[in-house]
């Protein structure tokens, strides 16, 4: 599996819910169109923005399947299989392999926490082993899980224990840690930084593949184009746009509920609300968010061109 390299933008899509809070399967086709039309080539599904942890195992399987089906020929699907329970994660991993997912990824259990990198490797080895033909990415998001490990050390220890390991999704916000991981074993592992605001900083360090909110396809595509041409000024000014977009999100609270509404507003695809324990926005909150996006001139920023 040495040669698997992801090459292209990765979206972390929200899970669409209908009025009753059930996954809205009617929208996936259109959703995949939207992502493909805004320069995404991969989707990282059932992750954090997708509220994957608030879905049952059955719902996660159905959602993964829906993405594989509707992404066919356009979007490669990375299925997030992390849970608090190894058996559940193994079931999800096996299923992902069966339905032909491009790859799987998993975050650590976070209620019971592995006490060190060795335990993490052991856990992930037993998880990855049930999907022996599918590339595996460790997903680190320490501020959300409360589990702080040394990712470089994880990679070194995992090398001989997880044959399918291809890299990690690094959403810790700590660029130097991510950069350090790209230096392990002569660059054997690919680091997919999870970020809405540090794309240019990643590019300059040689980490071209990032996982981003699904509103950012156009913008990140433009940043990459400018960067590849050596036009750093343009790249920087586009990166500032991403920063300003993010600041609007933060000003309204900054949570997944806000990010999801922002996507509905900017994409025109109705994502519905969030599941508890996240808080549903009021109509008024949603309206104010839209007004701010409009004032900033961002209403068309995410639309296919």
Kindly name the residue from 138, 139, 189, 199 that is annotated as catalytic.
139
Least distance from C-beta 87 to a second copy, angstroms? 5
Is 299 a binding residue for a second copy by CB under 8 A? The answer is no
Does 176 interact with a second copy (rule: CB under 8 A)?
Answer: yes
User: What is the rounded distance in angstroms from the CA atom of residue 107 to the CA atom of residue 147?
Assistant: 10
**Residues 62-101, mask of contacts with a second copy (x by CB under 8 A):** ---------------------xxxxxx-------------
Q: Does 183 bind a second copy (CB under 8 A)?
A: yes
How far apart are the C-alpha atoms of 213 and 219, rounded to whole Å? Answer: 11
Residue 300: other Cβ atoms inside 10 A: 9
Question: Of 101-130, which residues contact a second copy (CB under 8 A)?
Answer: 108-115, 118-120, 122-123, 126
Distance of alpha carbon 196 from alpha carbon 64, whole angstroms: 23
The contact mask relative to a second copy for 231-270 (x = CB under 8 A, - = no) is: -x--xx--xx--xx-xx-------xx--------------
Nearer to a second copy, 41 or 117 (CB): 117
Minimum distance, C-beta of residue 173 to a second copy, in the bound complex (Å): 7
**Torsional sign, CA 28, 69, 166, 118:** positive
114 with 80: CB under 8 angstroms? no
Of 1, 30, 54, 290, the residue at the interface with a second copy (CB under 8 A) is 54
Is-catalytic flag, 169? Answer: yes
Beta strands per DSSP E along 81-213? 103-106, 136-140, 165-170, 190-194, 210-212
**Size of the residue set binding a second copy (CB under 8 A):** 64
Whether 139 sits among the annotated catalytic residues: the reply is yes
Q: What is the bridge-based pairing of β-strands 165-170 and 190-194? A: parallel
68 has binding-site annotation: no
Contacts of 163 by beta carbon, 8 Å cutoff, 6+ apart: 1, 128, 132
Among 51, 117, 140, 209, binds a second copy (CB under 8 A): 51
**Choice among 65, 169, 224, 260 that is catalytic:** 169
Cα 155–Cα 193–Cα 268 angle in degrees, nearest 5: 145
Q: Which residues are identified as catalytic?
A: 139, 169
């Amino acid at each position: 599996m040495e040669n698997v390299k992801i090459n292209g933008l990765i979206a972390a899509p929200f899970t669409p819910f209908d009025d009753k809070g059930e996954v809205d399967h009617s929208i996936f086709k259109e959703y995949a169109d939207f992502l493909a039309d805004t320069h995404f080539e991969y989707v990282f599904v059932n992750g954090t923005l997708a509220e994957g942890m608030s879905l049952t195992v059955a719902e996660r399987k159905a959602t993964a399947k829906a993405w594989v089906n509707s992404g066919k020929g356009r979007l490669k699907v990375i299925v997030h299989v992390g849970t608090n329970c190894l058996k559940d994660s193994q079931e999800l991993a096996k299923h992902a392999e069966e339905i032909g997912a491009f790859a799987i990824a998993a975050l650590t259990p976070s209620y019971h926490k592995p006490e060190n990198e060795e335990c993490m490797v052991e856990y992930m080895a037993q998880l990855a082993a049930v999907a022996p033909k599918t590339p595996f990415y460790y997903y680190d998001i320490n501020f959300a899980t409360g589990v702080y490990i040394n990712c470089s050390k994880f990679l070194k220890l995992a090398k001989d224990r997880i044959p399918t390991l291809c890299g990690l999704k690094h959403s810790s916000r700590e660029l130097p840690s991510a950069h350090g991981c790209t230096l392990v074993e002569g660059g054997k592992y690919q680091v997919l930084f999870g970020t809405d605001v540090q794309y240019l900083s990643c590019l300059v360090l040689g980490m071209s593949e990032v996982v981003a909110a699904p509103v950012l396809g156009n913008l990140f595509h433009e940043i990459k184009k400018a960067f590849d041409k050596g036009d750093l000024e343009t790249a920087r000014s586009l990166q500032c746009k991403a920063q300003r977009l993010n600041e609007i999100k933060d000003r309204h609270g900054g949570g997944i509920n806000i990010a999801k509404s922002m996507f509905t507003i900017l994409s025109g695809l109705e994502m519905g609300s969030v599941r508890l324990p996240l808080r549903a926005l009021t109509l008024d909150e949603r309206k104010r968010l839209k007004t701010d996006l409009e004032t900033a001139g961002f209403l068309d920023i995410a639309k296919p061109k």
